Chains A and B, each alone.
Chain A
Amino acid sequence: MPPPPPDPQFVLRGTSAAVHALHFSCGGQEHDVPVLFSGSENGFIHVWNLKTRRVDKALDGHGRKSVYWVETMDGKDSLLSQGRDQRICLWDLAEGRTSVTDSVFTENVGFCRCSLLKVAQGRWLMAMAAKALEEVQVLELPSKTSVCTLKPEVGAKLGMPMCLKLWQFNCGSQPLLLAGYEDGSVVLWNLSMGKVLSQLVCHQEPVMCLDFDSEKAKGISGSSEKVLSIWSLNEQQNLQVHKTHGLVNAGISDITIRPDKKILATAGWDHRIRIFGWKKLKPLAVLDYHTATVHCVSFSDHKNPSERLLAAGSKDHRISIWSIYTQT
């Protein structure tokens, strides 16, 4: 008899708007407060104190336009947020400050979340959807210089980029970009030459989200249809479909693989969070708590494995925090 699905460890209420973005920052020192950042539809970024389970700070920097991506650069004192006001803001949160120190005006009206990759100490690359409909631009931070602009060839008809992931095989190697597009294909880009290395049609509908495991060179993508697609990168840097997994209800808005590469979580339009084993995509659990679409899922970066958490943000204004499969 399999055990009944677990309940959330606790639920964070108080955003009073749909939650679109989540990011943990719990990997700090012993006495550091573990923190969860959440971006909401009302333009606020809430900084949750996971010890007291209350909002420590509320950041208002996107003119009440929805915030759909938050990510830290080097610890919780430096935060990037992306909003529908076409801006990406860099926040300085050290020592109680809450100010926007820098911003990038993307001129992009889409919903594509950026992707951040640390390439060296003090240097990051950020991929974002650019002004032109099909293009992706990669900037170097903090200098904000453009590294390259990735334009698909004429007639490729990929549509808008829907999700991005910057990665590199190991520290020091070439950074590469995986982009999922509106036509259902996933493209691997070479940043230095700005060219397509491989393109794979994974879905019949737009790719909504993707995540990639650089160790196993295997990735997974979710779409608005009922299928999850798992694909891999072979030695010739070609993408090929590994397998597909059918779901009961259509629509996946977010996918994330846990840092230890053991499990992954999907956020579904059917209000459910699904947990799978990453090795063979074995379904492990269906977490049914939310009463509306789950927009985002995120795993925490706790140093102590038993403290690891999974957070899910939903349209019903709640963030559920789960402690699941923490023994391994």
Chain B
Amino acid sequence: VCFIPGGSDCSISFASHILGKVCVHGRQKEILSILVPHLSDLTKSDCIWQRICWRLVECVPDRWMEAVVLGFVQRAPGADVLSRLLGNLVVKNKKARFVVTQKLLLLQYGYKTAVLQNLLGYMSQDSLRRALLIKVLQELLETWGSSSAVKHSPAEQQQYISKAILICLSHLKESEIESCRQELLTSMMEGVKCHLDSSLPQIRRLGMIVAESISSKINTDGPVLKFQYEEDDEARELKSLLVQSPPFCVVASVPDDHRNEKADAALPLVLESNGKSHTAATHVTPDEESDAELDSDDDLIPYDMSEDKELKKTKAPVYIRDCIEVLTGCEDVDKWEATVKAVESLVRKNPAATREVSVELAKILLHLEEKTCIEGFAELRQRAQVAVLTTDPIPVAQYLTSQFYSLNYSLCQRMDILDVLVLSAQELSYPKARGKTKHSGAQRPCIQLLPGSDSSKDWRRIVDERIKSKTRRFAKGPSQVELAFGPNEFNSVAGHFFFPLIQNFDRPLSTFDLLGEDHFVLGRLVHTLAILMYLAVNTMAVTAMGKALLEFVWALRFHTDSYVRQGLLSCISSMLLSVPAECLLENMTEELLETQSWLEDVVEKDPDGDCRRLALQNLLLMENLKKKLRTVPS
């Protein structure tokens, strides 16, 4: 498209109309890919061309304005280019203002970070537009801080808004921050609270990063807010948005291209040569070492040094009852430490003695608090509890499940109970090889249940693996390793683990309300039930468990917390995998049909991506089930 420069006043409105019409029909890419580079070149130094460009865009009729603005924002290679092309369009035109400040930021969230950078950078470039920037920041913070938004909007949208906030912050000047410091502080406090309340670790982390950034901007001197979270690529990317890099022009013109290419080529060469010299250096030392190894003093035969262990000042008790005594009332800290480290092995070596005092020991371990700073205290305690539970499953399971619903336990303790139940169930349901527990990592998926908020990922992984192993029908030959075999110890106790947990979930206590505030524990409970269901495959109680679980899921299926919903969907997966197909069809046909329609609903309408995926997997499982039953001649 070539514009004829003339001294005369020409009307651009015809060109604007064409532009608008083309863009609204979806051809933004084609036309703007040619138009934008040309215009950005022409407007670089020429004021007249700038004004022509502005007139061009301003004259686009309102009904096509959105498409045009969107196209420009996406195609422009940088914020300053966008600024040259659009001018003060957002100030003058109401529709453009709406698109830029509301639609692109709050209502849509599919655009890349570069688009956000362009948009917000554009707004920051002119003093007229800066007022808009501040207004935009306020609205973004309002959305970020609203608890219903945090609970119900998808993770991707929350990430988009967080990015936008960070970029806004990076553009603000000192004076502007001063003027709205109080507002920023209040919104930050509210927002942080909603984010930390969430059950999903990703949302919590987003909240933490944004809060830290806001805090660092408003308290330039003095202590800033600092959270502890996992630093990975996403976190680093978000944090990098806070710092504005100097605007570098990716110029499309030809001579610059060559320069850029040369610079790019130079860099890899330098890196390569560095890499080579490094490898050369590292090659030298191994040679030296291998030379030295040849004439080692192999003629000196070492003696047996297996007894060379850490010198212990106090000896750990050798009897279980001694352990109980030490753990309940001993003032000697060294002895207490030694006992805590020795409890698990003692319990496992003396099953008969443990059975006599199992409930008492379980009680003590549940209430055991860290007296001194031992490394891995939580793990030691958990392993001891698992040992006690697997040695004497029924009474201890009864005790633990009753305590789960009792008054005056901390959330941490209740979740501890759930973790211990799951780990013990896992141990009981796997066959032990001739007395020694074989832990072959290839055979059993590892459930990491130590106090960590990422358990949901691992549990899903297990269910996924199981689903995968069921839906692919490749014939696998018998494995060479002789598999361990033995009676399924979980069979007799599965019910004792499962049913008490599912019984009282709707009875609120004064300190514990699963259906109310403590929805995080509810989420964990649901995931626990899913795993117990999964481990109950081939037990006698599995059908009854399945039926009870299905009713439980049905009651909670519209829960607002996405972590709970993910758990419920895992429950359905476990149930479909563990209960034999014939039993399912016999006892639960109606419920299954209802569940199927619910799952279809979830796949279409649930805001959380993981929930939709799980629901889809469940539907696939059900399809497979139907197919399997159809092929079997009845």
Name A residues whose Cβ lies closer than 8 Å to a Cβ of B: 1-6, 248-249, 262-263, 270-272, 277-280, 282-286, 288, 325, 328
Contacts and interface: CB of A to CB of B under 8 A. Distances in A.
B303 to A, nearest CB: 4
A280 B297 contact: yes
Given A249-B310, A284-B301, 20 more contacts: A2-B303, A2-B304, A5-B303, A5-B307, A248-B309, A248-B310, A248-B311, A262-B297, A262-B300, A272-B308, A277-B297, A279-B296, A280-B292, A282-B296, A282-B302, A284-B303, A286-B308, A288-B307, A328-B299, A328-B300
Contacts of A282: 296-297, 300, 302
Contacts of A325: 300
Contacts of A284: 300-303
Contacts of B310: 248-249
A173 B88 CA distance: 87
Contacts of B308: 248, 272, 286, 288
Contacts of A328: 299-300
Interface string B279-297: 0000000000000100011
Given A262-B300, A325-B300, A283 B305 contact: yes
A270 B303 contact: no
A248 to B, nearest CB: 6
A271 B311 contact: yes
B305 A270 contact: no
A288 B306 CA distance: 12
Interface in B112-141: none
B311 A277 contact: no
Interface centre among B301, B307, B311 (most CB of A within 10 A): B311
A248 B311 CA distance: 8
Contacts of B305: 2, 5, 283, 285-286
A260 to B, nearest CB: 11
Interface residues of B, number: 15
A278 B300 CA distance: 11
B43 to A, nearest CB: 63
Contacts of B309: 248
Contact of A5 (B292, B296, B304): B304
B300 A277 contact: yes
Most chain A beta-carbon neighbours within 10 Å: one of B296, B301, B302: B302
A270 B310 CA distance: 8
Nearest to A3: B303
B311 A286 contact: no
B296 A6 contact: no
Nearest to B292: A280
A279 B307 CA distance: 24
Contact of B311 (A3, A249, A278): A249
Consensus secondary structure, chain A interface: loop
Contacts of B301: 2-3, 284
B302 A279 contact: no
Given A249-B310, A279-B297, A280-B297, A285 B302 contact: yes
A249 B303 CA distance: 19
Nearest to B306: A2
B4 to A, nearest CB: 77
Main secondary structure of the interface of B (DSSP, over half): loop
A6 B305 CA distance: 11
A6 B303 contact: yes
Given A280-B292, A280-B297, A282-B297, A270 B302 contact: no
Contacts of A272: 308
Nearest to A272: B308
B116 to A, nearest CB: 49
Task: Give the 4 A-B CB pairs with smallest separation, nearest first.
Answer: A285-B303, A2-B304, A286-B308, A270-B311
20 contacts: A1-B304, A2-B302, A3-B301, A4-B304, A5-B305, A5-B307, A248-B308, A248-B310, A249-B311, A262-B297, A270-B311, A278-B297, A280-B292, A282-B302, A283-B302, A284-B300, A284-B303, A285-B302, A285-B303, A286-B303
A107 to B, nearest CB: 37
Contacts of B296: 279-280, 282
B417 to A, nearest CB: 37
B309 to A, nearest CB: 6
A278 B311 CA distance: 25
A270 B303 CA distance: 19
B307 to A, nearest CB: 7
A263 B304 contact: no
Given A249-B311, A262-B297, A328-B299, A3 B292 contact: no
A16 B241 CA distance: 74
B530 to A, nearest CB: 44
Contacts of A1: 304
A50 to B, nearest CB: 24
Interface in B508-548: none
Nearest to A226: B310
Nearest to A279: B297
Contacts of A2: 301-305
B385 to A, nearest CB: 30
A6 B292 CA distance: 29
Contact of B300 (A4, A249, A263, A271): A263
A4 B311 CA distance: 19
B289 to A, nearest CB: 10
Interface string B149-163: 000000000000000
A249 B307 CA distance: 13
A189 to B, nearest CB: 30
Contacts of A3: 301, 303-304
A145 to B, nearest CB: 43
B286 to A, nearest CB: 15
A157 B297 CA distance: 40
Contacts of B300: 262-263, 277, 282, 284, 325, 328
B182 to A, nearest CB: 49
B137 to A, nearest CB: 50
Interface string B391-414: 000000000000000000000000
Contacts of A271: 311
A134 to B, nearest CB: 33
- Which residue, B297, B303, B304, B309, has most C-beta atoms of chain A within 10 A? B303
Nearest to A270: B311
Nearest to A250: B311
A327 to B, nearest CB: 8
Nearest to A288: B307
A117 B483 CA distance: 68
Contacts of B303: 2-6, 284-286
A6 B299 CA distance: 17
Interface string B303-326: 111011111000000000000000
A270 B302 CA distance: 20
A116 to B, nearest CB: 29
A253 to B, nearest CB: 14
Nearest to A324: B303
Contact of B307 (A263, A277, A283, A286): A286
Nearest to A277: B297
B305 to A, nearest CB: 5
Contacts of B311: 248-249, 270-271
B474 to A, nearest CB: 45
Nearest to B293: A280
Contacts of A270: 311
A2 B303 CA distance: 5
A282 B307 CA distance: 17
A248 B305 CA distance: 11
A103 B296 CA distance: 46
A6 B301 CA distance: 12
B565 to A, nearest CB: 50
A285 to B, nearest CB: 4
Nearest to A268: B311
Nearest to A285: B303
Contacts of A280: 292, 296-297
A172 B307 CA distance: 46
